[in-house]
Chains A and B, each alone.
Chain A
Amino acid sequence: MTYEFLQHYWWLVVSLLGALLVFLMFVQGANSMIFSLGRTEEEQRMVVNSTGRKWELTFTTLVTFGGAFFASFPLFYSTSFGGAYWLWMLILFSFVLQAVSYEFQNKLGNLLGTRTFRWFLVANGILGPLLLGGAVATFFNGSNFIVDKNNIAGGLQPVISRWANSSGGLDALLDVWNLVLGFAVFFLARVLGTLYVRNNVNDENIRNRCGVRLLGAAVPFLILFVAFVLHVLLKDGYAYDAATGEISIVPGKYLDNMLTMWYVFAVFVAGVALVLYAIAKSVLDKTYIKGIWPAGIGVVLTVLALLLCAGWNGTAYYPSNADLQSSLTIANSSSSEFTLSVMAVVSLLVPFVLAYIAYVWRAMDRKKIDKAELGTDEMY
């Protein structure tokens, strides 16, 4: 395995984790609709318990995504997290609130009241996908940072990576295209949320409301998603020269990536088709409750293809608008060959992890959540 292969392999692994994270944000999507999918206390509890049995997978995938990025592309970790301080802090605050809200919301003595904790879940349901989507959009639209490794031994500051302004990364939200993807991911999470709850909760009222909400989320999602994809395919991209490491702006770079890497494009098309199929069938057939599976697989494939398009084929995956040559590529930001090799061996465990998650998911979801289960002591 060459160093270059390992860098590409690890971008694939990180992209796959990112794609799984977007799929698993069905938890956030459903949580953003707790009060509209569930009108009564019983219904709201069913929704909360439905996502409450999966939220840890989303949370763990986020943590593992961060850890894998740290291990494989530490310069991104150092540059993005250190620079876009406030953007990441807002994301983290919302996930902290989410993590305790399930356990605390229905417990005696929770001091803040059930509704407060459910509103925390709603807040995370909105902010999580919106801000993570906005952060991912910067892979295509760029951010304002400067990287100078010489600083560690000289220069004006000993800090290698700096943000070029004092916004702490919130300037990303001033770029309309970052917002477009942010809202696209937000509505996608709601699409997935309705499909998941429809599958997981055996309640006529909730399932009917999922159908209504699905349409309300799918339309804006599709408009925003198509707009963003067209924008990306038509815009200038950031390329790097593998021999010199020099970064340049190339017109139509992402479109070229999709055409050059036809297999990535095929994955993208398959993913989009599966998502469209799931939405269409779920809208047209009220009794169809398995839409989460084609939609989930479709989302994983689509996001995977977009992230591969951002990082493979000589593309700078984290472009700098402040200093083009500071842009991060999988070549200049990765860990050493040795570390990537070691981690590649570790990554062989991922299929086993996915296998036991699938097994447990199946075992736990065999019986759907219903009102009768609310009376037992095995509920939040």
Chain B
Amino acid sequence: MYNLLMSVDPFAIDWSRAQFALTAIYHWLFVPLTLGLAVVMGIMETCYYRTKNVFWKDVAKFWQRLFGINFAMGVATGIILEFEFGTNWSNYSWFVGDIFGAPLAIEGIVAFFLESTFVAVMFFGWKKVSPGFHLASTWLTGVGATLSAWWILVANAWMQYPVGCEFNPDTVRNEMTSFADVALSPFAIDKFFHTVISSWIVGAVFVVAVSSWYLIKKRDQRLARESMKIGAVFGLVASLLAAFTGDLSAVKVAKVQPMKLAAMEALYDGGNGVSLTAFAAVNPFRQPDYAAGGEPPLRIGIPYGLSILATHDPQGFVPGVNDILNGYVRPDGTRELSAEEKMEKGRIAINTLARYRERKAANADSSELAGLNDTLQANMPYFGYGYIKDKAELVPYIPLCFYAFRVMVGLGAYFILLFAVIIFLLYKRDIQKYGYLLWLGVLSLPLAYIASEAGWIVAEMGRQPWAIQDLLPTCAAVSDISAGSVAVTFFIFLALFTTLLAVEVNILCKQIKKGPEYTAN
């Protein structure tokens, strides 16, 4: 068993991971703005529909034009991700395709067509359909994009918390047993709300940044002020909701992916009443010596903070990396197995599967097969551990998770403050007198993207080495392709997406500089 993994090219795994990370990170540069701007321009067009004031039509059209430039890149980068599950992760596609394929198909049928049909009406239909139909089309474009996010996040959540399935040794795959468990997984619900709401922040910051620039330049001031009001209020609501849903997500992660939480916090040894790390000098360039125990240098903790965050109880137990690797007793008295015990059970599961297949092919009697299946099912929750050669593989790269988490949370708090101040100045003062704040609004735009990407880095790097939590590590999920081929496509994607990103940013800048086109009265 151990030897078989030696024949998988480790570079093919690394390049495939790098390629998926690259394409996903690029895709996520465009999706949050699509989700966020969809709501903003929907609100603006609704203002036009209700007031019949042509100013709002011009405002809506201006933001829709920027939306369209960004939307194209989201579509272009998105198609790759779906097909990469087949091209680069073919074992994965069979092993869990029975469950994972369904959300992708539903996304296409329910969401993509809605989005792609009505987006054409939104862009080209102002003179072709009634104002009501056009407004509905604008909102349906946003609904389509959001529904798309729902199904893709259902799929992603299932990878982090596989539920509603059972392993079938005859087909050698996991098969769905409950669609409701998959589609309405609590992990998926939290993930959806946190991800979509945090995307709204990106849309809101974008509106604030562009509006700030107009105010700095003292041009298109009415559009800028009205847009900024909508953007800032929308952004404040989204920021507060993102903090709330982030808290719910953290509780879920603590329950089902404790290693991810331990990595996010650089928590080597857990316990009760654990403090939250406010600051620590974790070396960003190498994996810390967590096995030695203790805590990172210069650590400053907020008393009971992590226990409250993870369990909503100041005295709640939070396991650290070493607890998870060595096994621990949960608060309810049950015992969490050590990594070695899980790896042993995983090996039993894999060897029993091989034996089952062998005996089945030899037409063994049903009672013998049933016995083997019982052993397999009993050890199946640890199946993926059978591919792990060293328990150190079970620990994600701590520095990346640690810093990405802090960037995400820190910037999330900053946006609450930023939006609150902007709203105060917009309604109580003359915001144009606060030039530094307007510049801060402009400069906050890249921060919104950094926060959004950091969230995904925490979610995805924090679950390594798993393609599917506990069931399939990336080393057993990869396709039989040469590292050279994937390296070549990686660099093609890098060159292609970077070039197209540069084009998009330049077009957006020119479009913003050109400004809105006002309808003559």
A interface list, Cβ under 8 A from B: 53-54, 56-57, 59-60, 62-64, 66-68, 70-72, 74-75, 77-83, 85-86, 88-89, 92-93, 95-97, 99-100, 102-104, 107-112, 149-150, 152-163, 166, 168, 335-336, 338-339, 342-343, 346-347, 349-350, 353, 356-357, 360, 363-364, 366-367, 376-379
Measured in the bound complex, the distance between the Cα atoms of B76 and A154 in whole Å is 39
Q: From known contacts A82-B88, A357-B113, A360-B117, infer whether A59 and B79 are also in contact, taking CB-CB under 8 Å.
A: yes
With CB as the reference atom, state the residue of chain B lying closest to A104.
Answer: B503
* Bound Cα distance from A28 to B90, whole angstroms: 29
- Report if A80-B479 is in contact (Cβ < 8 Å); known contacts: A64-B113, A70-B104, A107-B510: no
Asked if A343 contacts B102 (CB within 8 A), the reply is: yes
Bitwise interface map of B from 113 to 153 toward A, beta carbon under 8 Å scored 1, else 0 = 11111111101111111000100000000000000000000
- A162 to B506 Cα, complex, angstroms: 43
- Measured in the bound complex, the distance between the Cα atoms of B107 and A68 in whole Å is 10
**Residue-by-residue, is B480-521 near A (CB-CB < 8 Å gives 1, otherwise 0)?**
111001000100100010011011101101110010010000
B117 and A356 within 8 A (CB): yes
- A92 touching B79 in the complex, CB below 8 Å, given contacts A335-B98, A347-B109: yes
Q: How far is the CA of A89 from the CA of B479 in the complex (A)?
A: 14
Minimum Cβ distance to chain A for residue B204 (Å): 23
- B121 smallest CB distance to A (angstroms): 6
Q: Is the CB of A353 within 8 A of B113?
A: yes
A358, closest chain B residue (CB)? B117
Partner of A111, one of B71, B110, B177, B506: B506
Q: For residue B88, which residue of chain A has the nearest CB?
A: A82
A63 contacts B94, C-beta separation under 8 Å: no
A92 and B97 form a contact (CB under 8 A): no
- Asked if residues A342 and B102 are in contact (CB atoms below 8 Å), the reply is yes
Q: Can you list 5 A-B pairs with a CB-CB distance of less than 8 A?
A: A68-B108, A93-B492, A100-B503, A112-B499, A346-B106
Q: Which of A150, A376, A378 contacts B354 (CB 8 A)?
A: A150
Tell me if B61 and A82 are in contact (CB < 8 A). no
Assembled-state Cα–Cα distance A350/B36 (Å): 28
Smallest CB separation, B86 vs chain A (Å):
3
B binding-site residues for A, Cβ under 8 Å: 1, 4-5, 7-8, 61, 68-69, 71-73, 75-80, 82-83, 85-95, 97-102, 104-110, 112-121, 123-129, 133, 168, 171-173, 175-177, 179, 350-351, 353-354, 357, 387, 476, 478-482, 485, 489, 492, 496, 499-500, 502-504, 506-507, 509-511, 514, 517
What residues of chain A lie closer than 8 Å to B97, measured between beta carbons?
Answer: 70-71, 74-75, 77-78, 335
Given contacts A154-B1, A342-B179, A346-B109, contact A70 B476 (CB under 8 A): no
Given A99-B79, A100-B73, A335-B98; A158-B91 close (CB under 8 Å) = yes
Let me know if A363 and B128 touch, CB within 8 A. yes
Q: Which residues of B contact A59 (CB under 8 A)?
A: 75, 79, 116
Query: How far apart sit A162 and B94, CA to CA, in the bound complex (Å)?
Result: 13
Complex Cα–Cα for A59 and B119 (A): 13
A100 x B72 contact (CB < 8 A): yes
> Please, how many angstroms separate the alpha-carbon atoms of A60 and B4 in the complex?
40
* Inter-chain contacts of B61 with A (CB < 8 A): 377
A379 CB, min distance to chain B CBs, angstroms: 8
Complex formed: what's the CA distance from A200 to B105 in Å?
31
A223 to B73, CA, bound (A): 39
Q: Given A63, A347, A367, which contacts B128 in the complex, CB threshold below 8 Å?
A: A367
Q: Which residues of A contact B5 (CB under 8 A)?
A: 158
Q: List chain A residues, Cβ under 8 A from B115.
A: 60
Q: Is there contact, CB below 8 Å, between A93 and B496?
A: yes
Residue of B nearest to A376 (CB): B127
A82 with B102: CB separation less than 8 A: no
Ranked 4 nearest A-B pairs via Cβ: A74-B97, A82-B90, A81-B86, A64-B108
Given the known inter-chain contacts A161-B94, A335-B101, A347-B109, please indicate yes or no for A92 contacting B511, CB distance below 8 A: no
Residues of A within 8 A of B77 (CB): 96
Q: Is the CB of A152 within 8 A of B172?
A: yes
Q: How far apart are the CA atoms of A347 and B109 in the complex, in Å?
A: 8
Q: Which residues from chain A contact B510 at a C-beta distance below 8 Å?
A: 107-109
A157 and B485 alpha carbons, distance in the complex (Å): 19
Interchain CA distance A81-B126 in the complex, whole Å: 41
Question: Is A74 in contact with B94, judged by CB distance below 8 angstroms?
Answer: yes
The interface centre, meaning the residue of A78, A353, A378 with most chain B CB atoms within 10 A of its CB, is A78
Q: Is the CB of A86 within 8 A of B172?
A: no
Given A78-B94, A336-B168, A342-B179 in contact, is the A366-B480 Cβ separation under 8 Å? no
A249 CB to closest chain B CB (Å) equals 24
CB-based contact B120/A360 at 8 Å: yes
Chain A residues contacting B86 (CB-CB under 8 Å) are 66, 70, 77-78, 80-82, 88
Instruction: Write the nearest CB–CB distance from A81 to chain B, whole angstroms.
Output: 3
Partner of B112, one of A64, A166, A378: A64
CB atoms of B485 and A86 under 8 A apart: yes
Nearest A residue (CB) for B3 = A156
Residue numbers in B under 8 Å from A66 (CB-CB): 82-83, 86, 104, 108
Tell me the nearest residue of chain A to B174, going by C-beta: A336
Q: Which residues of B contact A107 (CB under 8 A)?
A: 69, 507, 510-511
Residues of A within 8 Å of B69, CB to CB, are: 103-104, 107
Query: What is the CB-to-nearest-CB distance from B141 to chain A, in angstroms, rounded to a whole number?
Result: 11
Q: Residues of B contacting A68 with CB < 8 Å?
A: 105, 108-109
